[in-house]
A and B are shown apart, each in its own frame.
Chain A
Amino acid sequence: MNQASSETKSRSTNWLLRILRYPRTQNLVIAILAVLMALVAISLVIVIIGKNPLTVFVSLLRGSGWLPKPRYASGRSMLTDFLGLLDALTPMIFAAIAVAIAFKAGLFNIGISGQMLTGGFLATVLIGYSQLDAVLAKPLVLLVGALSGAMLALFVGWLKANFNIHEVVSTIMLNYVVQYIVSFFIKGYFIEPVSRQSHTVSVASRLTLVNVQIGAVETRIPLCFLLAVGLAGVFYLILARTRLGYEIRAVGSNRQAAEYSGISSRRTIMLTMALSGAAAGLAGVTYYLGYYNSIMPGDLSSVGFDSIAVALLASANPLACVLSAMLITSLSYGSNYMSSVADVSEYIASLLIGIVLLFSACSGFLKYLVNRNNLAVDQSDDREEPGSTPATGGD
């Protein structure tokens, strides 16, 4: 009896398991599953507080420019919302691929926020407050941001490679160091008395064009969005197709085996951290000199921390990072409109993001559940092709 029922059960879940187990698409399918589960969970919450989940979700999409709103204020349109979303998305993509590439080398770069702030602050002070022309200023902002972020992260890599200081510890500590040093300088030299933030940067150096007229519509244009997507592609290619990428994955997969193969794990760790820091620095300049145009002293951007979860949701694949960053940023960007239209608290959006990230953090566990039976086979050493004969003495 018991056995018969378990057999029918296994047959009915078979197709689902087969999809979930298919190795090539497994990460994607499980990420989608995590998002769907989060949507179901948050729907329950919304139903409990007496609202219609569908209205809430639609208003989120409208707020972030994916669906047209019923009406717009003068000079605004769906394009305004969508380009605003891309503006917020740009630093998130940079930050997420920074986490992702470090992750592939087995490094947990928690210091994205600190590296962002370093890049953002130095670019603000060196270029943002200068009188340079836009043609010169914008590339220089990017350069300063990438270089300073890279230098800070390289220092973390150097500590790890030479003294075996764990990068999680050093990056968390450096986050504080950077946060307070930057705060000291802003409060001492660059403070705007009214806003209590740093002086705004010159229009020429800013990486987002604001108040642009396109026909009757007024909007902003994030200049570095395509650069972010492009860099995600470059990181993907580095990892999949280059010697350096092979070294990064080798060190991340098994540092001892990498050393044994003649790969210098110290060099690889330092290089990877520098790449990660460069991307984080770019996130910093597109955030502090793009999305915003000033720095709040004593504050670390939450983008740096959310990007960790974004990268996890993307299984540290830089291209997938673009999609998962898009998802997470859409949820937060649309929350303002959602709360005013659907009459639910803005925090519902934060809750939704939280739950999506929670489920995505569980994706490792989901994978374990799905693969459990298969994994057990590997451990038992009993996995040879059927009909295989043991090899006999030399051929």
Chain B
Amino acid sequence: MSETILELKHISKRFPGVIANNDISLEIQRGEIFAFLGENGAGKSTLASIIFGMYSPDAGEIILRGQAVQINSPARAVELDIGMVHQHFKLVSNYSVTENIILGREPIKRLLGIIPAIDYKKARAQVQELIDRYDFDLSADDLIEDLNVSSQQRVEILKMLYRDAEILIFDEPTAMLTPQEIDSLLAIIRRLREAGKTIILITHKLEEIKLVADRCAIMSRGHLIDVYDVQTTSTQLMANRMVGRQLSFQLDKAPAHFGPAVLELKELSVIDAFKVKRLDKASFTVHAGEVFALAGVAGNGQIQLADALAGLVQHSGQIILNGQDISQASVRKRIQSGLAYIPEDRHGVGLFLDFDVTENLISKQYYRPPFAHWAFLQKKTSQRYAELLIVRYDVRCAQGPATIVRSMSGGNQQKLIIARELDTHADLVIFVQPTRGLDIGATLSIRQRIIDERNSGKAVLLISLELEEVLTVADNIAVIFNGNLTKVTPAAEISLAELGEYMMGVRQ
């Protein structure tokens, strides 16, 4: 067995009202991929933040390369050759790849022998050399704003490598990536291990751990359950350990009973601000009691379709909801005619993060009775409504209706959006990536909600890039590729592999 590079001894950390880490001890070996596995709120991010110096532990010590160390700031962590790729990237968007990577550690040359200046030539060469060595498919001169999410993530990785990091921490690295991008990221992680790096991978996705990790620490509610050898432990066992109980992956899905058509799309097209056609003449029908899934790799026009339905972007073609043409209607008019929309971008579109739970729950109904009387908001009514929805949809918020949404966990923020949308009793519910970034428990609960909606006679449009989700939840599936609907089929008549091929555009 190789040597221990990092050892945590009895680490504890508490936040007001929460014990995030309770007496955690573990050892990480040099050159292994070590995963922290746990659901949202298990304390894995906190533990990683302690290693990276973002928090100081209330108790316990960290032993790095055989010596006890105090890591009291990220800067100190970097000095100790620890690097971290955060879930939300920290890049300057109008700087080039090189400029971002050298930021804070620029190679200096002396102009005329005295004036210090940044040696861009040298920096560029160093960065390009790193890119080539790890085969990163980037150019040192690309601007960050021109890069997609997975390329930006590679820039973050390069930033650590440029600083000679030996221990690399990845916080939920795959949360924002498409399936193909996940594969290439996992390949990169393997390559980093071959180059002798030690990797700490924080995730709640079992498949990824099974694919790359050597060992895995399972955490639950601040406690370390145990450390497992990934090769010799079954996925089912790890899943059960993670949630602390037997999990069924089965959804309760009764046979579908289609009602009349609720949504009819006729030749819907969207041309964006740059005059690029994002959606080309999409036509389909969704019936009452049906889950109609739109599968596709991100960026193929599905978000534009959802936004066009909600009235958020300009579009041509006809949208008929309950027999009524709403193509020209305002956003509010569409909501009133029975359209609920759970958007992909929860923080950017779905929520007012600085508002409390109540104000978020009434955001689509605040203007009408009983939430408003004339020009005045009825605060008490709204608050009672919020209390009701919190219970009915099992939203966990520390201060009840007055909780500021920013302070809630991602899963509960999503539940909040779902509560608001479903409680308008709309005939058509659009779910976009409803389970992205959520743990297994929350994911299953939301998928079951989707099916419950359908069983109660609602029309559901599900837009997702997770094949498994599409196949288990949907009744009918349409594949979207490059703005075109390439295949429409009942879910029962297509296999996972076939669906993947359509999504990738291999089959037309």
Residues of A bordering B, CB below 8 Å: 2, 6, 23, 241-246, 249-250, 253-254, 256-264, 373-374, 376-395
Contacts and interface: CB of A to CB of B under 8 A. Distances in A.
B267 to A, nearest CB: 25
B53 to A, nearest CB: 12
Given A254-B348, A379-B88, 5 more contacts: A254-B353, A376-B54, A391-B441, A392-B444, A394-B452
Contacts of B350: 257, 260
A253 B355 contact: yes
Contacts, number: 152
Contacts of B55: 373, 376
Nearest to B394: A391
Contacts of A373: 15, 55
Contacts of B354: 253
A250 B447 CA distance: 30
Interface stretch (B142-150, B158-166, B364-372, B481-489): B364-372
A59 to B, nearest CB: 42
A260 B331 contact: yes
Contacts of A391: 394, 411, 415, 441-442, 445
B376 interface: yes
Given A376-B49, A384-B40, A393 B15 contact: no
B73 to A, nearest CB: 12
A392 B448 CA distance: 9
B376 A242 contact: yes
Given A246-B359, A257-B363, A260-B310, A392 B348 contact: no
Nearest to B413: A381
Contacts of A388: 41, 221, 396
B298 to A, nearest CB: 18
Nearest to B372: A243
B45 A386 contact: no
Given A253-B352, A382-B46, A390 B442 contact: yes
Given A260-B350, A381-B40, A383-B15, A242 B375 contact: yes
Nearest to B48: A380
Nearest to B399: A23
B312 A259 contact: yes
Interface in B1-55: 15-20, 39-46, 49, 54-55
A257 B331 contact: no
B375 A254 contact: no
Interface residues of B, number: 76
A395 B444 CA distance: 12
Interface in B380-419: 394, 396, 398, 404, 406-412, 415
Interface of B: 15-20, 39-46, 49, 54-56, 70, 87-88, 221, 243, 248, 251-252, 310, 312, 330-332, 334-335, 341, 343, 348-355, 359, 363-364, 366-367, 372, 375-377, 379, 394, 396, 398, 404, 406-412, 415, 439-442, 444-445, 447-449, 451-452
Contact of B252 (A379, A385, A393): A393
B442 A262 contact: no
The 7 closest A-B pairs by CB, nearest first: A390-B441, A262-B332, A384-B41, A394-B448, A380-B45, A393-B448, A391-B445
A257 B407 contact: no
Nearest to A3: B70
A386 B222 CA distance: 9
8 contacts: A242-B376, A254-B353, A260-B310, A374-B15, A382-B40, A387-B221, A388-B221, A393-B447
Nearest to A384: B41
B366 A246 contact: yes
Contacts of A263: 332
A183 B374 CA distance: 45
B41 A382 contact: yes
B51 to A, nearest CB: 13
Contact of B18 (A23, A250, A261, A386): A386
A216 B275 CA distance: 77
A393 B444 contact: yes
A249 B409 CA distance: 23
Contacts of A253: 352-355
Given A260-B343, A378-B406, A380-B46, A385 B398 contact: yes
Contacts of B43: 382
Nearest to B447: A393
Given A382-B46, A384-B40, A385-B398, A262 B335 contact: yes
Contacts of A2: 70
B154 to A, nearest CB: 22
A384 B415 CA distance: 13
Contacts of B398: 385
A87 to B, nearest CB: 33
B395 to A, nearest CB: 10
A386 B252 CA distance: 29
Contacts of B18: 382-386
A242 to B, nearest CB: 5
A385 B397 CA distance: 8
A267 to B, nearest CB: 11
Contacts of A250: 352, 355, 363
Q: Which of A243, A250, A259 has the most C-beta atoms of chain B within 10 angstroms of its own C-beta?
A: A243
A352 to B, nearest CB: 33
A394 B393 CA distance: 10
A225 to B, nearest CB: 27
B17 A386 contact: yes
Given A260-B310, A378-B407, A393-B444, A386 B19 contact: yes
Given A253-B352, A382-B20, A385-B18, A243 B377 contact: yes
Contacts of B348: 254, 256-257
A390 B244 CA distance: 10
A229 B328 CA distance: 44
Contacts of B363: 250, 257, 261
